[in-house]
């Protein structure tokens, strides 16, 4: 090995000593006691010594082991004594001992560097592991307290390379949970760019991904402020239908590059997360808006099979059946959904529309009344009021009905107005 090659070897040693993962090796020199003993006694051939040092430069496991042996005094690669002057002064010193001495000095430098760098590396790794464990513990505490963004701040400060495999799994789970909770909150507040940023950061910085994180990102791209679209847009009135059960203004869906991109993104996400119920339901709802009723039914049915108690899956199946004119089947799915979600205004409205189409206005009216009583949205109440209370001119609740004191005050104002008119008429 030439001088430049040895300098290159030392440079590799300095670089690889800072790596956290050992290189894959078929065998390890530190496990060969005979080789270590011959190295200690300088009995290795030049080729064996070069191979030994090459391996030591590339394998952090062996480098660390040799460094420990040097520190413990088990290997003492001391320089050999200077050659004795038994030869005549005019006799040149043999070249081989000089080369051996030089090689020995290089070996001493390499092993000493390995010992020093391994000690520094072990100290840095231990410090990193301590800070990482502390940051992980703080993040888990913040999650338990319902502060996901604070948890993400702690996790960002952690060095995942300093965690053992078991702790790395906890780190990944904590990051995924914190991202989901923070992303869902941002989605509910319509902070759609923040949702995408959180999901991308989890993927790039922590290597974390899941079906529900992909779902949040897709909902943000669609600008839907809910992690399940049917939870916010589950009424047929949201899809162009009127309280009469007809849809005179229902138009064709918009198909563009964004639509194609979202369909491809959903298909890719479901291919990677085939058992994710929420992804299936949201994709089914998206296909419903595109009038792809057969494909929508496929995904709603898959979600229902994965979770038979999921009311939103039955809600989606009912909406598909209604769109296809299968009104009685739609009613059956809506009734199953109502068993799981008894307080859903959307389901009551959809049942009312089914009974309207089935020519049963009395049963439809009961569902309209339940929907009107349950909802607190003024526009929706006004929209369905005539169907819920056809015989009344005003809603029968305390908020819309005149209070007795208000009626008496208006009566007094009317009387005062009449008195004023009479007085003016009596003037000459």
- pLDDT (tens digit, 0 to 9) for every residue of the chain, 428 residues total? 555 555 565 555 545 544 444 445 557 877 787 887 777 777 888 888 778 777 877 777 777 777 767 766 666 654 544 555 444 454 444 444 544 554 555 555 555 555 555 444 444 344 344 466 788 888 889 999 999 999 998 888 775 546 667 778 888 899 999 999 999 999 999 999 999 999 999 998 888 889 999 999 999 999 999 999 999 999 999 999 999 888 877 777 778 889 999 999 999 999 999 999 999 999 999 999 999 999 999 999 999 999 999 999 999 999 999 999 999 999 999 999 999 999 999 999 999 999 999 999 999 999 999 999 999 999 999 999 988 888 664 444 544 444 455 555 555 555 554 454 445 445 54
Which pLDDT score, from 0 to 100, does residue 390 have? 82
Which pLDDT score, from 0 to 100, does residue 42 have? 75
Q: Is position 151 within any domain?
A: no
**pTM for this one?**
0.61
Which pLDDT score, from 0 to 100, does residue 21 have? 46
Same domain? 240 vs 373: yes
Which pLDDT score, from 0 to 100, does residue 280 have? 97
Q: Is position 236 within any domain?
A: yes
Same domain? 129 vs 242: no
Q: Give the span between the Cα atoms of 181 and 212, in whole angstroms.
A: 10
Which pLDDT score, from 0 to 100, does residue 132 have? 67
Same domain? 130 vs 241: no
Q: Is position 215 within any domain?
A: no
Please state, in angstroms and as integers, the Cα–Cα distance from residue 48 to each residue in 43, 56, 333, following that order.
Answer: 9, 12, 78
Same domain? 275 vs 402: yes
Q: Is position 186 within any domain?
A: no
Q: Could you list the residue range(s) of the whole structural domain that residue 13 is in?
A: 3-79+101-134
Task: Indicate the number of domains in the chain.
Answer: 2
| CA count, 13 A, side-chain hemisphere, 30 | 20
Same domain? 300 vs 421: yes
Closest CA to 36 of 16, 72, 5, 65: 65
Same domain? 401 vs 277: yes
Q: Is position 86 within any domain?
A: no
Which pLDDT score, from 0 to 100, does residue 264 have? 95
Q: Give the span between the Cα atoms of 352 and 182, in whole angstroms.
A: 37
- C-alpha dihedral sign at 166, 172, 175, 181: negative
Q: Give the span between the Cα atoms of 289 and 70, in whole angstroms.
A: 72
Closest CA to 116 of 105, 126, 124: 124
Same domain? 408 vs 275: yes
pLDDT digits (tens, 9 = 90+) for 409-428: 555 555 554 454 445 445 54
CATH value at residue 304: 1.25.40.10
Q: Is position 160 within any domain?
A: no
Give the total residue count for the chain. Answer: 428
Return the CA Rg of the chain.
39
Same domain? 128 vs 233: no
Could you say which of 114, 134, 154 is where a domain stops? Answer: 134
Query: What secondary structure letter does DSSP report for 248?
Result: T
Q: Is position 142 within any domain?
A: no
Which pLDDT score, from 0 to 100, does residue 290 have? 94
Look at the block and give the residue holding tokens 């590059």: 257
Same domain? 232 vs 129: no
Q: Give the span between the Cα atoms of 390 and 386, in whole angstroms.
A: 5
Query: What secondary structure letter does DSSP report for 395?
Result: -
Q: Is position 187 within any domain?
A: no
């Amino acid at each position: 090995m030439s001088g430049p090659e040895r300098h290159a070897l030392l440079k590799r040693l300095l670089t690889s000593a800072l790596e956290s993962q050992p290189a894959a090796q078929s065998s390890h020199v530190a496990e060969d006691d005979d080789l270590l003993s011959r190295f200690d006694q300088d009995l290795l051939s030049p080729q064996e010594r070069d191979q030994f040092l090459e391996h030591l430069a590339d394998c952090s496991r062996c480098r660390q082991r040799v460094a420990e042996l040097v520190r413990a005094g088990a290997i003492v690669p001391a320089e050999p004594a200077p050659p004795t002057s038994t030869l005549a002064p005019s006799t040149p010193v043999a070249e081989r001992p000089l080369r051996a001495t030089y090689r020995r000095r290089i070996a001493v430098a390499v092993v000493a560097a390995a010992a020093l760098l391994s000690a520094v590396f072990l100290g840095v790794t231990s410090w990193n592991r301590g800070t990482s464990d502390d940051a992980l513990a703080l993040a888990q505490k913040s999650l338990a307290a319902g502060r996901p963004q604070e948890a993400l701040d702690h996790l960002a400060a952690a060095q995942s390379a300093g965690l053992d495999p078991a702790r790395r799994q906890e780190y990944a789970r904590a990051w995924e949970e914190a991202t989901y909770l923070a992303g869902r909150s941002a989605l509910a507040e319509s902070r759609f760019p923040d949702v995408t940023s959180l999901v991308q950061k989890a993927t790039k910085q922590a290597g974390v991904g899941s079906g529900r994180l992909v779902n949040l990102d897709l909902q943000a791209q669609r600008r839907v402020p809910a992690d399940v679209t049917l939870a916010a847009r589950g009424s047929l009135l949201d899809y162009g239908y009127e309280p009469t059960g007809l849809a005179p203004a229902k138009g064709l869906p918009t198909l563009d590059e964004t639509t194609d991109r979202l369909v491809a993104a959903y298909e890719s996400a479901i291919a990677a997360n085939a058992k994710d119920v929420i992804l299936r339901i949201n994709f089914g709802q998206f296909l419903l808006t595109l009038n792809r009723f057969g494909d929508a039914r496929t995904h709603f049915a898959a979600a229902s099979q994965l979770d038979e108690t999921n009311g939103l899956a039955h809600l989606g199946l009912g909406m598909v059946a209604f769109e296809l004119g299968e009104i009685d089947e739609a009613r059956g799915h809506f009734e199953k959904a109502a068993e799981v979600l008894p307080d859903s205004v959307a389901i009551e409205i959809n049942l009312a529309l089914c009974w309207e189409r089935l020519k049963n206005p009395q049963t439809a009216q009961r569902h309209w009344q339940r929907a009107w009583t349950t909802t607190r949205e003024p526009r929706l109440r006004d929209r369905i009021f005539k169907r819920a209370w056809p015989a009344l001119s005003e809603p029968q609740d305390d908020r819309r009905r005149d209070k007795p004191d208000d009626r008496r005050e208006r009566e007094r104002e009317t009387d005062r107005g009449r008195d004023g008119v009479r007085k003016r008429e009596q003037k000459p």
